[in-house]
Amino acid sequence: MSGIVPKLFVISGPSGAGKGTLVARVRERHPHLGLTVSATTREPREGEIDGTSYYFLSDEEFSRRVAEGEFVEWAHVHGHSYGTLVSEVTSKLDAGSSLILEIDVQGAFQVKERFPDAVLIFIKPPSLSVLQQRLVGRGTETAESVATRMANAEREMVLADRYDEVIVNDDLDSATDELLRVIQKHERN
């Protein structure tokens, strides 16, 4: 792997922008790209597996781990706590491959402070109305949760210009190509 430098990539964007979809597609074409499993206090959705989708923690357990300094970053997002465990980042970076953290904007800036070489990538939907269609179409959120996520989306979008890279997820194949191109460009730098 000469000339390739493993990097920490942070991917953010409004809920429903397509982050999970794009990351899964890129990882099929770039199998060495690791992904951290975050901790959260939200309830598991149908089909989500503890330890694979997220580490699902009680509020008490999350607070205890914050106090013990177990998080690289953490934030309140859409009414719940989410965070990246130090153990997830160190074990996977030590394995010598690049790593993706799919986290919110508050967490992204905390990571950049701690790891200045991290590359921040923002995924934008083509418009807020398309975002709403995707969130509703995904079928995972209640009407109330869609409303919270749409309100947060507007606040998150204004922070896109503080990211190193911005990708608009309109056509899925083009956005997947673009994300892969951006990752490989930074791994060569």
- Does 146 interact with ligand 5GP (rule: CB under 6 A)? no
Q: Which residues pair with 101 in a beta bridge?
A: 10
Judged by beta carbon distances under 5 to 8 A according to partner kind, the member of ligand 5GP, ligand ADP, none in contact with residue 103 is: ligand 5GP
- Does 88 interact with ligand 5GP (rule: CB under 6 A)? no
- Does 78 interact with ligand 5GP (rule: CB under 6 A)? yes
What angle separates helix 172-187 from helix 19-29, to the nearest 10 degrees? 60
- What three-state secondary structure class fits 74? strand
Could you tell me the CA-to-CA distances from 86 to 61, 71, 106, 137, 176 in Å, in that order? 16, 5, 17, 34, 28
Which of 16, 34, 83, 107 forms a contact with ligand ADP (CB under 6 A)?
16
Tokens of 152: 């947060």
Which of 8, 10, 12, 19 forms a contact with ligand ADP (CB under 6 A)?
19
Closest approach, Cβ 181 to ligand ADP, in A, equals 16
- Does 125 interact with ligand 5GP (rule: CB under 6 A)? no
Interacting residues of 68 by C-beta distance below 8 A, sequence separation 6+: none
Beta strands in the chain (DSSP E): 8-12, 34-35, 39-40, 55-56, 71-77, 80-85, 99-102, 119-124, 165-168
Q: Which residue is nearest to ligand 5GP (CB)?
A: 107
Q: Tell me the CA end-to-end span of the chain in Å, nearest whole number.
A: 13
Q: Which is nearer to ligand ADP, 65 or 178 (CB)?
A: 178
Judged by beta carbon distances under 5 to 8 A according to partner kind, the member of ligand 5GP, ligand ADP, none in contact with residue 41 is: none
Judged by beta carbon distances under 5 to 8 A according to partner kind, the member of ligand ADP, ligand 5GP, none in contact with residue 21 is: ligand ADP
Residues near ligand 5GP (CB under 6 A) are 12, 15, 38, 42, 73, 75, 77-78, 82-84, 102-104, 106-107
